[in-house]
């Protein structure tokens, strides 16, 4: 892959352009899956909000681990175990550096964002009592709703929901009104997967902290699209998934402020989260291992570490600028189509466009586009309360990554024109 230098987006003749030195065609050559045909058309993969694709560097890292280095970690005295441990802990350090955590003790490997949120709900939740409140927003993914509902069922806690406006933006004044004496945690998304709305997380965190309330950020849709600095944000927890950031499925991470993680009880019991075990009792391991029971996803960590290295090589500023250009281009092109309505028009958005077309069900839109090689998402996007807020069953959703091009958006627009004529 050609390396790129970091430059902000530039404006020329009214158009937002990708940063100088950003070679999307060189980047695309790193992604083998993109170079195929679907139904006789070149694949236009516009579903990265669901899962990004993997560059060959990540694929090779996983293959190399299984080919040369596979063994269990932390427990063996032989060479392969040492190699595997170095790979696994090296990935933890890569993640720590990527989000600017203070220590690797603050990086807990999980199966992904969902497990990370469940970990906090299951551990921090143990100290909550009936009447305590968890505050979320109306744009949350199910993964940041259901664990708190389950906690409410177990403990009698109360789930409060901050509303959003018709553009899909958090009503910050209403959010602040819901911060109360019984609020024990704010759990909120950084970027909405269904709308693309970017929440003012710095302000949210500062407001919550002014009341002494810790904050968990669901970073699944932000981590691969903008720079994330957990110290600058001052968040208490930040959860994200590898498969949203060009890494393998089945692994992710929870950042937690060390002083807060130290207070959490173990999440699961088993191997590696212990120091000593006897029938009379168990002594638990130190952070982060106390929260990582069992043999971990070592190959996943190898892939995640390689993905982090790849994203850093491309440059997060370059990624953000290129995706902003694609978002502007796609939003303008979609808005020009007859009978199409954009859903989610926040002033601050990531590379997600959700839309509906008069007289065509989102699933039919997705099917027609697939027939023309375009992969988008159709449905409620694991955000059914968002759809209820807008009074719709679902949307068609195109989402962009740094390997996407204007030509792929044009391919989607051409297919949408055919769909509109087909269902007219």
Model confidence pLDDT, tens digit, residues 110-164: 999 999 999 999 999 999 999 999 999 999 999 999 999 999 999 999 999 999 9
Residues 341-380: pLDDT tens digits? 999 999 999 999 999 999 999 999 999 999 999 999 999 9
Q: Helix or strand or coil: residue 244?
A: helix
Residue with tokens 């590898």: 242
pTM of the full structure? 0.93
Q: Which residues are CB-contacts of 149 (< 8 A; sequence separation ≥ 6)? A: 159
pLDDT band at 22 (very low <50, low <70, confident <90, very high): confident
Residues 43-70: pLDDT tens digits? 999 999 999 999 999 999 999 999 999 9
pLDDT of residue 12: 29
Lowest mean pLDDT among 6-15, 118-127, 414-423: 6-15
pLDDT, average across residues 321-336: 98
pLDDT of residue 76: 83
pLDDT of residue 75: 81
Residues 301-314: pLDDT tens digits? 999 999 999 999 99
In sign, the C-alpha dihedral spanning 34, 41, 367, 325 is positive
Q: Please give the domain boundaries of the chain with CATH numbers for all domains.
A: 10-46+315-422 (3.90.1150.10), 59-312 (3.40.640.10)
Give φ, ψ of 279 to 5 degrees: -70, -15
Q: Which residues are CB-contacts of 421 (< 8 A; sequence separation ≥ 6)? A: none
Catalytic: 382? yes
pLDDT band at 14 (very low <50, low <70, confident <90, very high): very low
pLDDT of residue 19: 61
> Contact, 326 vs 18, CB < 8 A?
no
pLDDT, average across residues 30-35: 98
Q: Cα–Cα distance between 112 and 241 in angstroms, integer? A: 4
Q: Which of 354, 348, 345, 347 shows the shortest CA–CA distance to 387? A: 354
pLDDT band at 189 (very low <50, low <70, confident <90, very high): very high
pLDDT band at 424 (very low <50, low <70, confident <90, very high): confident
CA 319 to chain centre: 15
Count of helix runs (H) and strand runs (E) in the chain = 14, 19
């Amino acid at each position: 892959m050609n390396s790129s230098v970091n430059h902000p987006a530039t404006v020329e003749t009214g158009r937002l352009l990708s940063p100088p030195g950003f070679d999307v065609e060189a980047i695309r050559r790193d992604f083998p899956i993109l170079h195929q045909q679907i139904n006789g058309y070149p694949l236009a993969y516009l579903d990265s909000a669901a899962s990004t694709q993997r560059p060959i560097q990540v694929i090779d890292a996983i293959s190399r681990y299984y080919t040369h280095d596979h063994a269990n970690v932390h427990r063996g005295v032989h060479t392969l175990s040492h190699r595997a441990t170095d790979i696994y802990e090296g990935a933890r350090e890569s993640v720590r550096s990527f989000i600017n955590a203070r220590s690797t003790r603050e990086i807990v490997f999980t199966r992904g964002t969902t497990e990370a949120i469940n970990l906090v709900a299951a551990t921090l939740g143990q100290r909550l009592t009936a009447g305590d409140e968890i505050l979320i927003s109306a744009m949350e993914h199910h993964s940041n709703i259901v664990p708190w509902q389950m906690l409410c069922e177990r403990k009698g806690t109360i789930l409060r929901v901050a509303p959003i406006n018709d553009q899909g933006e958090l009503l910050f004044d209403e959010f602040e009104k819901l911060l109360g004496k019984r609020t024990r945690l704010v759990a909120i998304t950084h970027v909405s997967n269904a709308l693309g709305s970017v929440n003012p997380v710095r302000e949210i965190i500062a407001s919550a902290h002014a009341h002494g309330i810790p904050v968990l950020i669901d970073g699944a849709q932000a981590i691969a699209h903008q720079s994330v600095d957990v110290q600058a944000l001052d968040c208490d927890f930040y959860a994200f998934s590898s498969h949203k950031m060009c890494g393998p499925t089945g692994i992710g991470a929870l950042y937690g402020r060390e002083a807060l993680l130290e207070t959490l009880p173990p999440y699961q019991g088993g191997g590696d989260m212990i120091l000593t075990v006897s029938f009379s009792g168990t002594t638990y391991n130190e952070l982060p291992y106390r929260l990582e029971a069992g043999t971990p996803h070592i190959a996943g960590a190898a892939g995640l570490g390689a993905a982090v290295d790849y994203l850093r090589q491309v440059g997060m500023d370059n990624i953000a600028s290129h995706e902003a250009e694609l978002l502007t281009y796609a939003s303008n092109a979609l808005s020009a189509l007859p009978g199409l309505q954009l859903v989610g028009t926040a002033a601050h958005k990531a590379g997600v466009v959700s839309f509906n077309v008069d007289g065509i069900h989102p699933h039919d839109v997705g099917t027609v586009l697939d027939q023309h090689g375009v992969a988008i998402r159709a449905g409620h996007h694991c955000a059914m309360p968002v759809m209820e807020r807008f009074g719709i069953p679902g949307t068609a959703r195109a989402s962009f990554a740094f390997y996407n091009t204007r030509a792929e958006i044009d391919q989607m627009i051409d297919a949408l024109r055919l769909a509109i004529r087909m269902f007219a």
